[in-house]
Amino acid sequence: MHGAIRAESSMTCVSKVKTKMAAAAAKTGGGRLAGTVALVTGGGNGIGRAACQRFAREGAAVAVVDISQPAARETLESLPAVPHGLHRGYATDVSSSAAVNKLVTDVCSDFPSPPNVVVTSAGILRYAPFLEVDEQHFDDVIGVNLKPLRVRPMGDLIQA
């Protein structure tokens, strides 16, 4: 029952993207992405951190998401301020559907509009010969790298 309510509210959230984006863009100045919101998973390091920094430089307000709170905070502190916006950090394990559900709900309420851009850069790599990959190893890698995309509110944002 709760899942249905969440899915419905996330769809409402997504349907507001374009109108809110246009309104916010009209109010802000500077940067090709002024007035937009970018959600970046794995934003605490590597490609995700670089994406956060680039989106912020272009004027987007950024939701920095990482399983590591210190890493997310470090990225957050490296971001340039944006006019009429605020960057925020979220300590979230994207392999948990419940956590991703809560993340999308929180981001939609914390920012003036739902995310216009979603970057799923959270990922793990564990090298092993394929036939030696046990079930736990397989589930861990798929859980972080692919599962968040099938969690309904995140998938809705990506398709919007």
Applying CB under 6 A, does 67 fall inside the site for ligand NAD? Answer: yes
Cβ contact 35:26 at 8 Å: yes
11 versus 91: smaller Cβ distance to ligand NAD: 91
Q: Nearest distance from residue 96's CB to ligand NAD, in Å?
A: 8
42-61: contacts with ligand NAD (CB under 6 A):
42, 44-48
89-108: contacts with ligand NAD (CB under 6 A):
92-95
Amino acid at 77: E
Q: Nearest distance from residue 124's CB to ligand NAD, in Å?
A: 5
Q: How far apart are CA 140 and CA 152, in angstroms?
A: 20
Applying CB under 6 A, does 9 fall inside the site for ligand NAD? Answer: no
Q: How far apart are CA 105 and CA 144, in angstroms?
A: 19
Q: Nearest distance from residue 108's CB to ligand NAD, in Å?
A: 19
Q: Nearest distance from residue 51's CB to ligand NAD, in Å?
A: 9
For the record, the structure tokens of 144 come out as: 């972080």
Q: Which stretch binds ligand NAD (CB under 6 A): 8-16, 22-30, 76-84, 123-131?
A: 123-131
Name the one residue in this structure whose structure tokens are 């394990």. 93
Q: Which stretch binds ligand NAD (CB under 6 A): 23-31, 109-117, 122-130, 131-139?
A: 122-130
C-alpha distances in Å from residue 81, one per residue of 100, 113, 150:
26, 17, 32
Selection from 92, 72, 91, 94 nearest residue 140 by Cα: 94
